[in-house]
Amino acid sequence: MKNYPVKEVKNIRLLGRNVEGGICKDGAVRLFWAGASLEVAVKAREVWAEISCNYDFHEIWLAIEVNGYQISRFIAPKRPIWVCLARNLNPEKENLISIIKDTQPMSGDNLHELKITGLRLDDAGEFCTPKPHDCKIEFIGDSITSGEGLAGSPDEMDWITQWFCASKTYAAQLAKKMNADWSTISQCGWGLCWGWDGDVTSNIPMYYSQVCGVLNGEQQQALGTCDVVPYNNGADYVILNLGTNDNSGFKSQDDGKGAAGVAGQAIVAEVKRFLGEIRRYNPKAKIIWTWGMIPIDIVPALIQSGIKEYIKDSADMNVYPLELEGMDKLEKSDEDKGSRGHPGSLTHKKAAERIYEFIKTLKD
C-alpha cells in the first residue's frame, strides 16, 4: 500500500464551498457544508482515506459512493483513522470514489470540523483525472437542502444527525442528472429573513459571501470559514429552496396586517436584495427560486412579488419562480416518507425531476 498526503494528490476534485485552492494551511482538506465532497478517480484494487473530525454535540456522518452509487455510510472518527472506502475493485477500470459530508455544519458548535489528510492506494494503484462536469449548480436552502429526514422511519422525531442524508437530496440527484459540479449553503430551521421561530439571526443571506461563516469559532475562522468564498465566475444555475421557515416564523414578525404588513414587505424587499447579491457573484447564472416540497401558504406569493420587482428594476430576465410538488400529495406509503415530518425520497426525486425538466425549457 502507498500513502499520499492529500495536498500532494493533484487530481482530487472538491465539490462544495471551500477555501481558495481547497487545501487549508495545515495541508488538509476540510468539507464544510452539507453535500460537500472529495472525489478521486482511480485505477486501483482498493482505496483508503485518513479521516478525522471534531464536534461538541452532534457527530458528523459521511457517505461513500463508487461511480455515483452509495456503498456505505458511517460516523466520522474523532481521531485520525485510515478508513477503507472501496476494496477488490477491477484495477483496469477507472472508478470514481466520493467521500460526501452527509451532515450540515452546526452553527454554534465551535469544534465542528471534518478533516481529510491522506489517501492510500494499493502498490499498483494510480490516480486518474476525473471526467469533467458539464456545468455548475449552487443550491441555497434550509433543512430540505441539508437532507433532514432522508434517513429513519416516519416515526423518528429526534433532532439528531443520523437522520440527515445530504447525499440523497433533490440537489444531489439534480447534480447527477446534469453531470454538474455542485455546492450548497443550507441550515435547518433557517430562512431568507428569519428562522422557523422568528429568529432574525437565522437567515442564510447573512453568510452568503463567506466560505462557511456559520462556523465562526476562533479555530474555525483560522481555517478560512469566514473568508470570502472564491466564486471564480460563479455557477451556471442557482437553485433557491428558501422560504419555508420564513412561513413558519411569519406570525412572530407580523404586525397584524399579514402579507401586506411589515413582515410581508420585509420578505419582498429581501428577495429583491438577495437576488441582486446572487447575481453579482453569478453573472451568467439562471436563477430559479423554488418552494412547495413542504406546503406553505403565505411566502410563495411574496417570493413571486419580489422576483417581479427585481426583474422590473434590474431588467434581469434570467430569474424564474418554480413551484414543486408537495409531500402531502406525493407520499402515500411509509417508504415514501421521511423522518421528522420532512420530505421523503419520493418528494426529493420528484423535485429533482421537476427542476431538471424546467431547466431544459430555458433558452441559453
CATH number at 168 reads: 3.40.50.1110
Query: Cα–Cα distance between 341 and 327 in angstroms, integer?
Result: 10
pLDDT tens, position by position, 226-252: 999 988 889 999 999 999 999 999 999
Question: Is the same domain home to 118 and 163?
Answer: no
Domain boundary among 128, 157, 192: 128
Same domain, 177 and 115: no
Same domain for 260 and 183? yes
64 and 141 both lie in a single domain: no
Percent of the chain with pLDDT over 70: 100
Are 250 and 161 within one domain?
Answer: yes
Could you say which of 128, 153, 185 is where a domain stops? 128
Structural domain count, the chain? 2
Residue-wise pLDDT for 186-214, tens only, equals 999 999 999 999 999 999 999 999 999 99
* Domain at 109, CATH number: 2.60.120.260
Q: Which domain holds residue 353?
A: 135-360
User: pLDDT band at 363, cuts 50/70/90?
Assistant: confident
The reply to whether 97 and 223 lie within a common domain is: no
pLDDT band at 349 (very low <50, low <70, confident <90, very high): very high
Domain final residue, candidates 128, 149, 184: 128
- Residues 221 and 118 occupy one common structural domain: no
pTM: 0.97
Q: Are residues 251 and 109 in the same domain?
A: no
Same domain, residue pair 123 and 230:
no
Residues 167 and 280 placed together within one structural domain of the fold: yes
> Do 353 and 335 lie in a common domain?
yes
Q: Are residues 56 and 197 in the same domain?
A: no
